[in-house]
Amino acid sequence: MADQGTYTIATLGSHSALQILKGAHDEGFGTLAIANRDTKALYRSFGFVDEVIAIERYQDFPALMPQLEKRKLIIVPHGSFVAYLSLDEHKRMTIPYFGNKAVLDWEASRELQRQWLSRAGLTLPRQFERSGEIDRPVIVKLYGAQGGKGYMFIRDSADFEARAAHLKEEHIIQEYIVGVPLYIHYFYSPLENRLEIMSMDRRYETNVDSLGRIPAAAQEGMDVQPSYVVVGNSPVSLRESMLAEAYRMGEAVVRVSKEICGPKGLFGAFCIETIITPDMQFFVMEISARIVAGTNLFIDGSPYSYLHYSEPMSTGRRIARELKNAISSNKLGMVLDDG
Ligand code: ATP
């Protein structure tokens, strides 16, 4: 049996777990889904999932750790994994973990994230501290909102006073960028010291993506406000003339991460969320430092991953490939954080 066959890749049953475990299986690893009462039957139904452990609630995962620590496991985290566990629980986890946990602090704080992205030379939407400063349309974003829930489009400072000034929840006020939202999925391999563009998607949001179906004149008086709740993702291929800039942005983010989060920096899968304006400027809204759900569109690979691999290569499988290469070259320490 190849070396990777003695390891099991484990993740929490949600988000992109199917992609991660399918990729792990295709690369020769054992696979474990940690599911709950509602999801265990689903994960058991897939042949590539070797084992399912069901817990009551995903938040109970830390109680399972002593049992998991005894095994030859590697955890691959995803967005829901991070959401269900606190930052501290994450850091306390001593099961080998694909990724650099030092990145979590820089990602979790909107302020630190802004510093990171600005230092990488990326263009960010302006941020306003108080309503008096608002001199253009803005979007008010609630902290911790997921999938755009509760975001508000605000025309000007008077509109802010009328509709948002009373908000109790923590929020930020950000310049509204009119353009196409594009989410770029990258993979940085520390073993090969190479950045790859894996795929891209745009989100489909209700109702902002459907307002154009009603002429502006007909909307007058209807009192419809745009909302940004995500209902799906669609694949995109970017104009090739814009790819070099997308690549440069990814490189810059990785380079700066090595200055701020220790020498390992950011590695593995990550996503830069952008909005592209008519003059082809990428405005960066956010970075996610791990596999994002938009990659689920590409379980069978994307046009970009095909260019690299000539075989189906999802981001989940790319993670497993990196782990496999690390095992065979005795460099697992380069891609794991073990607490
Ligand atoms: P997730 O954590 O799932 O990525 P989120 O809650 O962090 O989502 P964002 O990605 O920040 O949400 O934004 C959700 C949507 O809001 C975007 O897809 C975009 O349509 C809109 N949006 C966010 N920021 C801006 C902006 N500055 N200008 C215009 N639209 C924006």
Domain that holds residue 62: 1-97
From ligand 1's centre to the CA of 231, what distance in Å? 13
Give the predicted TM-score (pTM) of the model: 0.95
3-class secondary structure, 39: coil
Say yes or no: 191 and 302 in one domain: yes
d(CA 71, CA 66): 10
**Residue 148 sits in the same domain as residue 286:** no
Q: Ligand 1 centre and the CA of 214: distance in Å?
A: 22
251: tokens are 């490189």
From CA 63, how far away is CA 54, in angstroms rounded?
Answer: 12
**Which pair of tokens denotes residue 278?**
């008519």
User: At 153, which CATH number?
Assistant: 3.30.1490.20
The CA-atom distances, in angstroms, between 108 and each of 26, 176, 289 are 32, 22, 10
Q: What phi and psi, each to the nearest 5 degrees, are found at residue 109? A: -95, 125
Q: What is the pLDDT along the chain (339 residues), one digit of tens a residue?
A: 578 889 999 999 999 999 999 999 999 999 999 999 999 999 999 999 999 999 999 999 999 999 999 999 999 999 988 888 888 888 889 899 999 999 999 998 989 999 999 999 999 999 999 889 999 999 999 887 677 888 999 999 999 999 999 998 889 999 999 999 999 999 999 999 999 999 999 999 999 999 999 998 999 888 889 999 988 899 999 999 999 999 999 999 999 999 999 999 999 999 999 999 999 999 999 999 999 999 999 999 999 999 999 999 999 999 999 999 999 999 999 999 876
Q: Which residues partner with 187 through β-bridges?
A: 196, 269
What pLDDT shows up at residue 145? 64
What are the two backbone dihedrals, phi and then psi, of residue 134, each rounded to the nearest 5 degrees? -70, 115
Do 116 and 165 belong together in one domain? Answer: no
d(CA 99, CA 230): 27
Q: Which residues form the pocket of ligand 1, taking CB atoms under 6 Å from any ligand atom?
A: 125, 139, 141, 145-148, 151, 174-177, 181, 203, 205, 228, 273, 275, 285-286
Calculate how far, in angstroms, residue 170's C-alpha sits from the geometric centre of ligand 1. Answer: 16
Which amino acid, one-letter code, is at 323?
A: L
Task: Please check whether residues 171 and 112 belong to one and the same domain.
Answer: no
Q: Is residue 17 a part of any domain in this protein?
A: yes
End-to-end, the C-alpha distance of the chain in Å comes to 29
CB burial string 38-59: b at 16+ within 10 A, e below: ebbeebeebeebbebebbeebe
Query: Which amino acid residue places its CA nearest to atom 8 of ligand 1?
Result: 147
Ligand 1: which residue has its CA nearest to atom 3? 147
Question: What SS3 class is residue 174?
Answer: strand
Indicate which CATH number applies to the domain containing 87: 3.40.50.20
Within-domain flag for 323: no
195 and 283 share one domain: yes
My answer on whether 133 and 244 are in the same domain is: no
Distance separating alpha carbons of residues 23 and 118, to the nearest angstrom:
34
- The one-letter code for the residue type at 315 is T
Residue 328 lies in a domain: no
| ∠ Cα 18 23 26 (to 5°) | 125
Buried b (16+ CB within 10 A) or exposed e, 317-327: bbbbbbbbbbb
Distance (angstroms) between ligand 1 centre and the Cα of 141 equals 8
